[in-house]
Amino acid sequence: MVTSAPAALLVAALVALTACVSQPLAEPRITMRTGRGAKQPVSAIVALTPTCGILASHMRDGNDGAVYAEPAKCEPAVLDGVGQEIRGALAFAGYQVIDAERVNAITSRHHEVIERFNAYGSRHIEQRGATFEDATPVEQAELLRELGADAVLTTRLWIGAGYGLSGRRMVAVQVRLASARDRQLVWARRCELQASGFESDEAALAAAARCTAKGMPRP
């Protein structure tokens, strides 16, 4: 049995700490809105590469024994993963989804060299060109017409500041469909959820992307 005051305080602190860490995460919040462009029929969509911003730094141990904050980066692989999740959900909902990264603005040049050295070999492929996202606004409008696209999809990712010892933070993924003709909002959908401190940014963003993708409006 604990009798001394310091020990009692220590136990109380540990109990409080445990309670704090085990506090349930906030329920995901989904927001959806439609705009003026919703009256136009949308079938073919050009999906742009997601963009993101992360506020929460990561903790890093320094060589001097101190703890430092290291800015978190939006890794291209994570953006790719979220983009795939959203595009997949839209395709399943019935849209014709065109990946902007795969739309050539100009005919690209492909140069491939295969070398063989006995049991070993290498293949060197060089592709030079320009995609939809490299083009100017006028050229992009022309490409949208050529593709017969009705709308453009933008995806934005956000991770807020870490709170508490565990570093809980809010994570949001938002998709917005805008008319290709006049950029008017067709619909926008956002899922915001709380990520635990033990969850990586990648896992948190993937969860938010799944939450956003679930229940996408049909064409």
Partner 1 sequence: VRIAGLLACLAGCQLVPPPAHARVLRGAAHADPPTTIVALPIATTAATPEQAAAVASATRMALELDGYTVVDAELINAEMRRRTTETVERLSEAPPAPSERPAQSHSDTTTETKVSGGKTWLDAGVVTRTRLIAEVGAQGLLSTAIERSTGAMPWNGQVTVDLTLMRLDGRLVWRSECSANFGAVWSSWWTTQQAIEQAIERATHCALESAALW
35-64 positions binding partner 1, by CB under 8 A? 35, 51-57, 59
Closest CB to partner 1 among residues 130, 203: 130
Q: Which residues in the 162-181 window bind partner 1 by CB under 8 A?
A: 162-165, 167, 172, 174, 176, 178
Closest CB to partner 1 among residues 4, 27: 4
Question: Around 157, how many Cα atoms within 13 Å sit in the side-chain half-sphere?
Answer: 31
**Positive or negative torsion for Cα 165, 79, 74, 193:** negative
Determine, following the binding rule CB under 8 A, whether residue 88 of this chain makes contact with partner 1: no
CB 39 within 8 A of CB 33: no
Instruction: Candidates 71, 77, 107, 218: give the one binding partner 1 (CB under 8 A).
Output: 71
Collapse the DSSP code of 215 into the 3-class scheme (helix H, G, I; strand E, B; otherwise coil) and give the result.
coil
Tell me 106's DSSP state: S
Q: Which residues in the 197-216 window bind partner 1 by CB under 8 A?
A: none
Q: Which residues in the 92-131 window bind partner 1 by CB under 8 A?
A: 105-106, 114, 116-131
Instruction: Candidates 28, 38, 44, 156: give the one binding partner 1 (CB under 8 A).
Output: 156
Collapse the DSSP code of 47 into the 3-class scheme (helix H, G, I; strand E, B; otherwise coil) and give the result.
strand
Check residue 167 and give left, alpha or beta (phi > 0: left; psi -120 to 50: alpha).
left
Minimal distance, residue 48 CB to partner 1, in Å: 8
Instruction: Candidates 2, 25, 26, 69: give the one binding partner 1 (CB under 8 A).
Output: 69
Question: Bridge-partner residues for 156, per DSSP?
Answer: 51, 174
Q: Which residues in the 128-147 window bind partner 1 by CB under 8 A?
A: 128-131, 133-139
Determine, following the binding rule CB under 8 A, whether residue 25 of this chain makes contact with partner 1: no
Q: How far apart are CA 135 and CA 125, in angstroms?
A: 23
Minimal distance, residue 109 CB to partner 1, in Å: 10
Collapse the DSSP code of 100 into the 3-class scheme (helix H, G, I; strand E, B; otherwise coil) and give the result.
helix
Q: How far apart are CA 196 and CA 206, in angstroms?
A: 14
Determine, following the binding rule CB under 8 A, whether residue 2 of this chain makes contact with partner 1: no
